[in-house]
Chains A and B, each alone.
Chain A
């Protein structure tokens, strides 16, 4: 694994992911930053609706796998396409899509960025075909992936790290939190699975199911 400080590989640490069954006019960029020291500043930008900081900042401790994040991104994109967003933009929609219920502020608190607890952040940027619906500024020039890379590296004070299941599972996931948020504590048979990777996979599909049936 490349040293995270290696600047040559750094930009490859922001992944461009083409999701299945998503129009190619959408581009999804995902990066994982460890030990982020300016979470408070980043959250302030979100709260101030600073459009330059329009990202989905996801607290990595509430995440167990890549698939979980990608499922949230996918759901947010389908909601964006259908024009039925309940939050300001596709990025806030991603954070809410991680939640198993419809409480928006709770979703921000649990899955989004919080100055006190967010140490490791998964950051997602979705470049949408139309200029973002909530553009506050009149910046008509569309963002490029390169511009996103540069902006993230310049403004997120943390260590870019490959966004892989191995990294997430090497101690970033706070299982107590995940179990509470997705109500996995009462699921006895899950705990009795001895094979760890199998147990993780089963937990993952239960999480996906909870996300899919949010509100329904």
Chain B
């Protein structure tokens, strides 16, 4: 599991050479020292916390919870010095709590998200289950790259249509994505920042591969590169909402993100996403109709009228 830290966002998506397994984890980057650790992480632990990613609002550390054997992700929202301290404390508190509530809600409902381990909203941190594996974004890009090499690497990139036998792993992964998003929307949660970087591809445990057609192991491009469960992460912008508009925007953002990061498989993705989303979410047809509208006008609603 430790090996996979390298996969997270801070390191530009990986491109691991042939054997990802033999690659060593990156050394903790010097960034770690640039920021003071949250107090909680200054107390002794078996392994030093590693800064995984630094966002506009929060930092994500890989650390341990309770026992050296239990890895955890700790999301820390540092105080914003430019805000009034009282306001800042309130905002931080609310955001940490909102994220923790959404995560537990999803988890109870069986939506694949990291479990919440501990929350200290006053201190501005949230400890969660550590999800091993690469982000879906990195895995898909690596897969597309290998497929291209297989084609001979020459010429223009032809769209991946999913019709070929070797593409069935990619189609299966897209179906798992659509199904996860459908389940999330079904429990009244919208993510707010759905991208393939915010979905981890957690390796299957031996003997626990799903047998429902959502998995397609075996032949195809890049052995098992796309194997694993989709786990949706980073609910920092999420909210509890049952509005079809919000859901459609979620899908739209994902669609756009997919188009820009994996453009060769764009059309395939749209089709696969829609069909698998429908399978896990009853109100999908209404949302997909709304999605048409959103596509026409973009993410923001018109401010006119």
Q: Is the CB of B40 within 8 A of A21?
A: yes
Number of interface residues of A (CB under 8 A): 27
Q: Which residues of A contact B45 (CB under 8 A)?
A: 20-21
B119 touches A21 (CB 8 A): no
In the A-B complex, the 6 residue pairs with the closest CB atoms: A205-B115, A189-B110, A209-B104, A20-B45, A21-B43, A20-B64
B95-119 contacts to A, CB under 8 A, are: 97, 100-101, 103-104, 107-108, 110, 115-119
Chain A hits for B40, CB < 8 A = 21, 78
**Chain A nearest CB, measured from B71 CB (Å):** 10
B-contact 0/1 string along A61-78, CB 8 Å cutoff: 000000100110011001
| Given A209-B107, A213-B104, A216-B101: A20 and B119 interface contact (C-beta under 8 Å) | no
The distance in angstroms between the C-alpha atoms of A71 and B305, with both chains bound, is: 53
A216: contacting residue among B41, B63, B65, B121, CB under 8 A: B121
Known pairs A21-B45, A23-B43; A212 contacts B66 (CB<8 A): no
A216 close to B110 (CB less than 8 A): no
CA distance A118 to B43 in the complex (A): 35
Taking A21-B65, A187-B108, A212-B119 as known contacts, 7 extra A-B pairs with beta carbons closer than 8 A to each other, sorted by chain A number, are A21-B43, A71-B118, A208-B116, A212-B104, A213-B100, A213-B116, A216-B119
Nearest chain A CB to B66 CB, angstrom units: 5
Contact partners of B107 in chain A: CB under 8 A: 205-206, 209
17 contacts between A and B (CB under 8 A): A20-B63, A20-B70, A21-B43, A23-B43, A23-B44, A70-B66, A70-B67, A71-B66, A71-B117, A74-B65, A75-B118, A189-B110, A190-B110, A198-B208, A210-B104, A213-B100, A216-B100
A210 to B108 alpha-carbon distance, docked (Å): 10
Query: Is B122 in the interface zone, CB < 8 Å from A?
Result: yes
- The answer, yes or no, to whether A167 is at the interface (CB within 8 Å) is no
Chain A residues close to B by CB (< 8 Å): 18-24, 67, 70-71, 74-75, 78, 82, 187, 189-190, 195, 198, 205-206, 208-210, 212-213, 216
Shortest CB–CB separation between residue B47 and chain A, in angstroms?
Answer: 9
Quick one: CB contact mask for B120-137 with A, threshold 8 Å, 1 for yes?
A: 111100000100000000
